[in-house]
């Protein structure tokens, strides 16, 4: 079977998690770069990666790469690629996105136009026709120019993989599903261990944790652009992969996953989203302020995206708030900006309460993603590690406060406790 080079873009900072995911579903990694992991796989790999990977943004089928410093070089390099190996005669094809980093060619619209013309020239030459009907399946092309190296690939996914299909009920300031999954997987939390999100919003952290616990594939209930690529992927591959995903689900797993929020509308949305994800019985949601955070057991985890700046308005139950990962230009006054004394006071109280409640828990760990650089000071805690996570253009910080590991008794050959 023909093997392809497949590119899986991801959030900056999530490369190691995605690499491990790809290994786990059985494919060989060819390279890891900032914001993307490239691996080798056949047509079945395209299907299984789309359905099963939790932290990827999309799966791209690489057509080729070449060096280009001028539009003539871009045209000739694009024309030299074997597009006919991927696109049938009636394909609908276009360059849906062009990104340029430290390259002489930087105008997205010009890059898109030149590459489309070059693709048409190549296809005309190979199929011996001048006009293409483009009334068949869609093959959207994405191109990245980095230091004048052009990488052209066809998008197999369509809508980003973070759109699992369960988040119909929205509140303001959600965290992307694939980022939430990746952050969970960056921590020592594992299925069966206690997890609490005291600022759960629409429930993304608890729902992703429950899906991991029950081994529910994130893409099994959605559709993908490449499902119509019958020239490359037999339809039975999709049926088989979804059946594989269904057979792997285990809803009998033991969980202690809890989501709290001060906003009743947020909790209502979280419960509905959990129902749509099929994990409502695995999560306990409750309207509760962070000041009431408690748990009787040891060795639990707090993993959360607390309010900051404009997000404070949503914690009051109204107004405008923004997601971790929105572009700063989307904001009226910038992410995390505090424009009044009330917001500063409220922010200080929220972070102090979170820090205080964490200290009161017995042998717990805490992981906090926020845009605030001084979160440690506000929490009254010193992080063991602070990892920068880039989501789009917005820099956020993942503060890690690992607690002690549970002490599991071990026995020697004489059955004595060591």
Query: Tell me: the pLDDT tens digits for 118-159?
Result: 999 999 999 999 899 999 999 999 999 999 999 999 999 999
223: in domain: no
Query: Does one domain contain both 187 and 331?
Result: yes
**The pLDDT of residue 343:** 81
408: in domain: no
Predicted confidence (pLDDT) per residue in 49-88, tens digit: 999 999 999 999 999 999 999 999 999 999 999 999 999 9
DSSP assignment letter at 233: S
Average pLDDT of 321-350? 50
Tokens, residue 78: 């694009």
Using alpha carbons, select from 364, 355, 365, 14 the residue that is nearest to residue 183.
Answer: 14
**The pLDDT of residue 342:** 58
Angle in degrees, CA 304, 336, 352, rounded to 5? 50
DSSP assignment letter at 56: B
> Strand, coil or helix: what is 193?
coil
Average pLDDT of 320-341? 35
Least reliable range by pLDDT among 14-18, 56-60, 326-330, 391-395: 326-330
Domain of 325, CATH number, reads 3.40.50.150
Predicted confidence (pLDDT) per residue in 216-266, tens digit: 999 999 999 999 999 999 999 999 999 999 999 999 999 999 999 999 999
388 has a pLDDT exceeding 60: yes
Average pLDDT of 379-386? 97
170: in domain: no
126: in domain: yes
Average pLDDT of 25-46? 97
278: in domain: yes
pLDDT band, very low/low/confident/very high, at 410 (cuts 50, 70, 90): low
414 has a pLDDT exceeding 90: no
pLDDT band, very low/low/confident/very high, at 407 (cuts 50, 70, 90): confident
Query: Does one domain contain both 346 and 396?
Result: yes
Contact 107/70 with Cβ under 8 angstroms?
Answer: no
316 has a pLDDT exceeding 50: no
327 has a pLDDT exceeding 50: no
Contact 261/287 with Cβ under 8 angstroms?
Answer: yes
pLDDT band, very low/low/confident/very high, at 178 (cuts 50, 70, 90): very high
Query: Does one domain contain both 126 and 191?
Result: no
Contact 280/274 with Cβ under 8 angstroms?
Answer: yes
Contact 175/305 with Cβ under 8 angstroms?
Answer: yes
The whole-angstrom separation of Cα 187 and Cα 365 is 9
Query: Does one domain contain both 145 and 187?
Result: no
**The pLDDT of residue 341:** 61
Tokens, residue 23: 């290994």
317 has a pLDDT exceeding 70: no
320 has a pLDDT exceeding 60: no
Query: Does one domain contain both 270 and 392?
Result: yes
pLDDT band, very low/low/confident/very high, at 393 (cuts 50, 70, 90): confident
* Total number of domains in the chain: 2
Contact 37/29 with Cβ under 8 angstroms?
Answer: yes
Query: Does one domain contain both 327 and 383?
Result: yes
Return the residue matching tokens 């419960």: 271
The whole-angstrom separation of Cα 205 and Cα 199 is 10
Quick count: other Cβ atoms within 10 Å of Cβ 393?
Answer: 12
416: in domain: no
Query: Does one domain contain both 141 and 184?
Result: no
**The pLDDT of residue 170:** 73
User: Residue 103 — φ and ψ, nearest 5°?
Assistant: -125, 155
Strand-pairing partners, residue 400, are 367, 385
Predicted confidence (pLDDT) per residue in 275-296, tens digit: 999 999 999 999 999 999 999 9
List the domain range (segments joined by +) for residue 382.
177-216+233-401
Query: Does one domain contain both 95 and 207?
Result: no
Query: Does one domain contain both 142 and 190?
Result: no
DSSP state letters, 92-111: EEEEEEEEEES-S---HHHH
Query: Does one domain contain both 246 and 107?
Result: no
The whole-angstrom separation of Cα 270 and Cα 287 is 11
Angle in degrees, CA 389, 395, 398, rounded to 5? 40
The whole-angstrom separation of Cα 357 and Cα 353 is 6
The whole-angstrom separation of Cα 361 and Cα 359 is 6
- In the chain, % of residues over pLDDT 90: 83
> Mean pLDDT in the chain?
90
User: Residue 199 — φ and ψ, nearest 5°?
Assistant: -130, 60
The whole-angstrom separation of Cα 333 and Cα 308 is 13
CA distance readout (Å), 262 to 126, 238, 259, 268: 62, 41, 11, 11
The whole-angstrom separation of Cα 254 and Cα 206 is 14
DSSP assignment letter at 334: -
**The pLDDT of residue 409:** 61
**The pLDDT of residue 245:** 98
**The pLDDT of residue 344:** 82
132: in domain: yes
Question: Following CA atoms 166, 168, 171, 177 in sequence, which dihedral angle do they give, to the nearest 10 degrees?
Answer: 30
**The pLDDT of residue 31:** 97
DSSP state letters, 126-179: HHT-S-----S-EEEEEEEEETTEEEEEEESSSS-TT--S---S--SSPPPHHH
227: in domain: no
**The pLDDT of residue 168:** 86
Domain of 145, CATH number, reads 3.30.2130.30
């Amino acid at each position: 079977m023909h093997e392809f080079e497949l590119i899986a873009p991801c959030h900056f900072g999530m490369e190691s998690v995605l690499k491990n995911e790809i290994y786990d579903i059985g494919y060989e990694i060819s390279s890891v770069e900032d914001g993307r992991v490239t691996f080798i796989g056949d047509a079945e790999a395209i299907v299984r990666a789309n359905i099963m990977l939790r932290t990827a943004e999309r799966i791209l089928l690489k057509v080729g790469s070449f060096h280009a410093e001028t539009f003539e070089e871009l045209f000739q390099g694009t024309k030299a690629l074997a597009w006919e190996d991927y696109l049938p005669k009636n394909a609908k094809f276009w360059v849906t996105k062009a990104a340029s980093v430290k390259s002489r060619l930087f105008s997205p619209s010009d890059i898109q136009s030149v590459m489309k013309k070059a693709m048409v020239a190549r296809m005309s030459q190979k199929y011996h026709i001048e006009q293409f009907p483009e009334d068949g399946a869609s093959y959207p092309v994405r191109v990245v120019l980095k230091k004048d190296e052009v990488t052209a690939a066809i998008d197999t996914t369509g809508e980003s993989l973070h759109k699992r299909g369960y988040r119909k009920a929205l509140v303001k300031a959600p965290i992307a599903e694939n980022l939430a999954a990746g952050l969970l997987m960056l921590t020592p939390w594992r299925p069966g261990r206690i997890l609490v999100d005291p600022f759960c919003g629409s429930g993304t952290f608890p729902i992703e944790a429950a899906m991991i616990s029950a081994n529910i594939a994130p893409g099994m209930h959605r559709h993908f652009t490449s499902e119509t690529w019958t020239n490359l992927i037999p339809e039975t591959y999709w049926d088989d992969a979804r059946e594989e995903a269904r057979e792997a689900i285990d809803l009998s797993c033991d969980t202690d996953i809890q989501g709290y929020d001060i906003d009743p509308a947020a909790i209502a949305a979280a419960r509905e989203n959990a129902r749509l994800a099929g994990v409502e019985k695995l999560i306990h949601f409750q309207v509760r302020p962070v000041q009431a955070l408690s748990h009787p057991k040891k060795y639990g985890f707090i993993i959360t995206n607390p309010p900051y700046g404009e997000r404070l308005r949503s914690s009051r139950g109204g107004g405008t708030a923004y997601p971790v990962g929105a572009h700063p230009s989307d904001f009226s006054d910038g992410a995390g900006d505090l424009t009044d004394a009330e917001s500063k006071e409220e922010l200080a109280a929220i972070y102090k309460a979170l820090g205080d409640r964490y200290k009161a828990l017995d042998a717990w760990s805490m992981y906090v993603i926020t845009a605030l650089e001084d979160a440690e000071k506000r929490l009254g805690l010193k992080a063991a590690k602070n990892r920068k996570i880039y989501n789009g253009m917005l820099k956020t910080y993942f503060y890690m406060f690992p607690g002690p590991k549970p002490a599991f008794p071990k026995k020697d050959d004489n059955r004595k406790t060591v």
